[in-house]
Structure 1
């Protein structure tokens, strides 16, 4: 499917209707409706405290909504566990780079591939039994620009390369929908362009949902943007549309921050 189809139900791979999350009497997310188009790059943005991280955690099933319905590929996943939706192809990365620092880049990707095969906990198996995964692991490292760093320990990689490694481990799970939580957070300027290009490349053939505070990255990458404020949808549209909205300008006055 392309990114410019008619608005039929089958065009949307991930949807939320009336999605609400309360913590005691506080509604962190309140009656949010979302429709993520298949094959698109869709951003969730908003000022500090907007609820975007909570919304992201609800979509990825790290949290269960207080009320509302979430569907993935036409299936109700409102009460489905995070591990189960990951097996279905809805896979997230984390704001803090989630790698095994004392393992090599190749070993990190191989662990993810083991998980995909259902052999993630077979630690007693001889290492040679996992050698068939090495070719795929090396291919994934090549995809993210780490082909020449397969034997480097994750701890020794630069911050930007650690994020690239995390994307490789995410791709190892063969996601249909990849959810990226602040992928450029904490990066120096020198890492922004390579990671942006990497996300662009990995988005080909899949859907990407991104929580991102860097609006220049959002403008460059995203087809559609949902702006949240106080746990509710403020507006939605293209970058040109939302950046011209006076309510968005007002919401962002004073700077953009993370949840």
Structure 2
């Protein structure tokens, strides 16, 4: 199977502290791949390295066969690697439709015409509505993002990510801070939008990971501890020890 994303010996040091230590990841095209680990394991730092918000101290990053180690974040988005963040990132005073339309115009308009007249923007409405239907948000199209419950804001973010036409979606804690009902809905949404795409996600909720992920990489103290299916990593004694007594959470997700 083709690997759409690979890291080779990826390292990141901060004043002598090695936050990411010789991480070699391989993400297969078409998979939902989870990056898990205890707090402080280096998951978000790895994401920041992959999406070029940080530069590695050593190692290489290869996306779709191209070395992207020195690329800029905007260049990666144009190539099809698009990231969502832990913190909700909608424009609060725009409607749901307008939020998605902004993402569409960023993708389809020339950079010098980022803000376009309303008459031109209205041409993007049909595509925006199509994306909202994909995430079951069409009934909220005219709702201001600020008025949405948290779980629905996350759905809008996924729609804006889809607007960038990603080949690889990086989702940073997509269910963080959600109640059970929202977690279930967003989990099914991720599964639905993964068709024809690859997803790499950082996620703490083991039931989410167990339910939809094809492969899992476990980090501990910045290093890759284990990799495999959920059944394989959840049975690994090193993984259980790394979670320091939270093995009931790992086992309970089966």
Q: Please, what TM-score do these two structures have when normalized by structure 2?
A: 0.95
Paired position in structure 1 for 2:96: 105
Could you tell me which runs of 5 or more consecutive residues in structure 2 were left unpaired when the two chains were aligned.
Answer: 248-254
What is the match of residue 214 of structure 2?
A: 223
Residues 54-92 of structure 1: CA distance to partner in whole angstroms, max 9, x if unpaired? Answer: 011111111111110000000000010111001000000
What residue is the counterpart of 1:32 in the other structure? 23
Residues 1:112 and 1:125: Cα distance change in structure 2 (over 3 Å) = closer
Structure 1 unaligned residues grouped into runs of 5+: 6-10
Shift, 1:125, TM fit = 3.5
Which of the residues 189, 193, 202 maps onto 2:193?
Answer: 202
Q: Is this contact kept in 1: 2:170–2:201, CA < 8 A?
A: yes
d(CA) in 1 for partners of 2:203 and 2:148? 23
Count residues in correspondence.
247
| 2:239 match | 248
Describe the SS at the equivalent of 1:216: helix
| Residue correspondence of structure 1 range 155-174 to structure 2 within 5 A | 155-174=146-165
> Does the CA contact (< 8 Å) of 1:184 and 1:192 recur in 2?
yes
CA distance in 2, matches of 1:235, 1:123: 43
CA contact (8 A) 1:112 1:120 kept: no
Distance in 1 (CA, whole Å) between partners of 2:73 and 2:140 is 31
Are 1:52 and 2:36 an aligned pair? no
Query: For residue 89 of structure 1, what is the aligned residue in structure 2?
Result: 80
Aligned with 1:47: secondary structure? coil
Match for 1:193 among 173, 184, 193?
Answer: 184
User: In structure 2, what is the equivalent of residue 67 of structure 1?
Assistant: 58
**1:123 Cα offset (Å):** 6.1
- Which deviates further from its counterpart, 125-134 or 218-227? 125-134
2:240–2:246 CA contact under 8 A, matched in 1:
no
Corresponding residue for residue 251 of structure 2: none
* 1:118 Cα offset (Å): 3.0
State whether residues 106 and 114 of structure 2, in contact with CA within 8 Å, keep that contact through their aligned partners in structure 1: no
Contact 1:12 1:38 in 2 (8 A): yes
Quick one: distance in 2 between partners of 1:158 and 1:69?
A: 40
Shift of 1:190: 1.5
1:122 shift after superposition: 3.2
1:79 paired residue number: 70
1:228-239 to structure 2, matched below 5 A, reads 228-239=219-230
Shift in alpha-carbon separation, 1:121–1:146, aligned structure 2, 3 A = farther
